Structure 1
Amino acid sequence: MTEQNSEKKFKIFSLNGNQPLAEKIAAVCGTKLGKSTVKQFSDGEIAVNVEETVRGYDVYLIQSTNAPVNDHYLELLIMIDAMKRASAKTVNVVLPYYGYARQDRTAKPHEPITAKLIANLLSDAGATRVLTLDLHTVQVQGFFDIPVDNLFTMPLFAHYYREKGMVGDDYVVVSPKNSGVQRARSLSEYLDTTIAIVDLTEEGNPESGYVIGDVEGKTCIMVDDILNTGQVFKTAAKTLKKSGAKKVVACASHGLLSDSAKQCLDKTDIKDICITDSVLTDESRHPKNLTIITCSDLMGEAVKRIHDNQSVSPLFTIEKKDYE
């Protein structure tokens, strides 16, 4: 993507969800964020003002839907509408974290499928494409009738652990719950390790947990997509130590870190917790031994490829040699 074409054909705007990440992504794309303001009236209504022309441009709107998730989604919907009314050529939504993705099915009678509702709202508002990172389940892509590119964080974590020499038979990648086996298997392939699963015979009872797989004397690398309260990691780490694990570390794609997470995680025996900067949280909510790695290079490269009509597939799986 040449600088001349970039200046003529596309612009990147950020809303209030994760401004620092948006600035990094824009820098990767060789540009700066477009000028806009997003504010709230005293009654909570959101007002958006686009302060430069977007007529005929491919527009990329960066918004991570972390807390307050509802405000951030409404900001995004209003901004999409503003861009369409300002005659933008395309409106591409960049969602480093897709809020409500966990509500992707009716687990109990009469429950909504909110992940589908959000997909409908984005499409109906005028979005022409969505770029996101590590959906809770990849099937959420099927809720959209517009193109969706779902990038993966496992290569980022693979790079982090391979740089530390955490590869081979002395390590095991662990899914702290049954639903995350595919994610654990993906990371284990990069690190040349086996995998294990923590299962609870009684949900919510940490004493009922047991491990499927061999972890005795090994360093366990727990992996999940969302780190919210920290209870899943806390329970799984306790079960792993009971089963003879030498050491426990953990990584998660999206560090939501709710108010109780720091207190919960600081009481665990997890030596290192690695997350990406897909969501923005205050440092006061960060547990000890927290490491944050950036996803800006990955997402910025995806934006460039989309803009240049190039395949995004090479970003989905990256050769091990690229991390050595």
Structure 2
Amino acid sequence: MIVVGGPASTKLASNVARELGVQCISLEYKVFPDGESYIRYPLESCDVKGEDVVIVQSLYPPQDKHFVELLFAIDALRHLGAGRIAVVVPYLAYSRQDKVFLPGENVSVRTILRSIERMGADYFLTIDIHKEESLNFLSIPSFNITAVPLLSNYIKGLRLEEILVLAPDRGALWRAEMASRFLGAEYDYLEKYRDRSTGEVSVKPKSLSVKGRTVVIIDDIISTGGTVALAAKVMKELGAHKVIAACTHPLLVGNALEKMYNSGVERVIGTNTIPSTVSVVDVAEIIVEKLKSILKPN
């Protein structure tokens, strides 16, 4: 088995290879003056003919560039005679456009997933996809794993007291429930509303008992930080002692961190599906665990 690190995930790919005890090869890549992407698998490093190959490439911004690089990599490895190709996309861009919200839209995640399959992927693996049902767009074996246990263990190590795990909306309630079991804490959620035309988010306060407690807001993605900032503001108004935000995918667009800190968030915790200053939890362990189960010797 060989692990191939895409340009977006060289460090994570290296961690995965180390956990597996196999070689990690980084793709050569560049961008031409006209903006076109170029990748090359360095044949002189290791021949892939007949070998099982794991490609690791996350699709964080610039997501279109990273997506094209991934397609090029799959295509190159398939034509080089690789055996089974497992594509690991720790953060799957466009996963939030999983249905038609307004007439005339396409289902972006369907386009992304089917393109990956048609390039030659045999297996697909991602982490905390926005909605697991999106994997039904694929006909190859596909897997969604969650980083909630890893995040929970990290939070547990902080030795916080009087914890309430909070989901920012009902859709993330299962995530809060899972984390609460690891932390031995209570959990709840906020009512969230998003205007589909403007994208503006609002939250509806609930009668939560948070006075003097540490509130851990947990979600799959923190993008602009608007939802977390609103939730933190509500929690502080209700008397929370401390607010911490945790997520699998720290996109942190623009001034997201500043926005959250200014709203009362004391700390933001993320995983390394996306490199950032808050990416303190390594997901290599759960990727390797799943790869071992799906890439058993023929």
Q: What TM-score, normalized to structure 2?
A: 0.91
Is 1:298 paired with 2:293?
A: no
Q: How does 1:84-99 map to 2 (within 5 A)?
A: 84-99=78-93
How far the C-alpha of 1:291 sits from its partner, in A, is 6.0
Change (3 A) 1:274 1:116: same
1:205 to partner: Cα distance: 6.8
* 1:247-258 equivalence runs, <5 A: 247-258=242-253
The runs of at least 4 consecutive aligned structure 1 residues that moved more than 3 Å come to: 200-206
- Pick one of 54, 65, 69 that aligns with 1:75: 69
* Alignment check: 8 A CA contact 1:166 1:191 kept: no
Deviation at residue 42 of structure 1 after TM alignment? 1.6
1:215 pairs with 2:210: yes
Where structure 1 has 5 or more consecutive residues not aligned to the other structure, the ranges are 1-9, 311-324
Quick one: which of 105, 115, 120 aligns to 2:99? 105
| 1:251 Cα offset (Å) | 0.2
* Structure 2 residue aligned with 1:11: 2
Sort the Cα spacing of 1:104 and 1:255 in 2 relative to 1 into closer, same or farther, 3 A.
same
The residue that corresponds to 1:137 in the other structure is 131
CA distances 1:241-287 after superposition (whole Å, capped 9, x unpaired): 11222221110000011122133123121112110011124xxxx4x
Which one-letter code corresponds to 1:27 in the other structure? R
Per-residue displacement from partner, 1:42-100 (whole Å, max 9, x unpaired)?
Answer: 21222222222211011111101111100000000011111111111111101111111
1:181 Cα offset (Å):
1.2
CA distance in 2, matches of 1:251, 1:298: 18
In structure 1, distance between residues paired with 2:14 and 2:194? 45
SS state at 1:107 partner: coil
In the other structure, the counterpart of 2:27 is 36
Q: Distance in 2 between matches of 1:35 and 1:223?
A: 33
Q: Could you tell me which amino acid in structure 2 is paired with residue 103 of structure 1?
A: Q
Aligned length: 291
Check the 8 A contact 2:250/2:279 in 1, yes or no. no
Q: Matched residues in 2 for 1:156 and 1:179: separation?
A: 20
Match of 2:221 among 218, 223, 226: 226
**Hey, what does 1:49 align to over in structure 2?**
40
Cα 1:172–1:27, aligned 2, differ >3 Å: closer, same or farther?
A: same
Work out the CA distance in 1 between the residues paired with 2:242 and 2:106. Answer: 40
* Equivalent pair of 1:16/1:72 in contact (CA under 8 Å): yes
Q: Residue 34 of structure 1: SS of its match in structure 2?
A: strand
Q: CA deviation at 1:182?
A: 1.4
Is the Cα–Cα contact under 8 Å of residues 36 and 49 in structure 1 kept in the other structure? Answer: yes
Q: Given the alignment, which residue of 240, 251, 255 partners 1:245?
A: 240
- In the alignment, which of 262, 267, 277 is matched to residue 267 of structure 1? 262
Whole-angstrom distance in 2 between the partners of 1:263 and 1:300: 34
How does the TM-score come out when normalised to structure 1?
Answer: 0.84
Counterparts of 2:257 and 2:207, CA distance in 1: 28
Q: Does 1:236 align with 2:235?
A: no
Which of 182, 190, 193 is 1:198 aligned to? 190
What's the % identity of the aligned pairs?
27
Conservation of the 8 A alpha-carbon contact between 1:219 and 1:248: yes
Deviates more, 1:208-217 or 1:119-128: 208-217
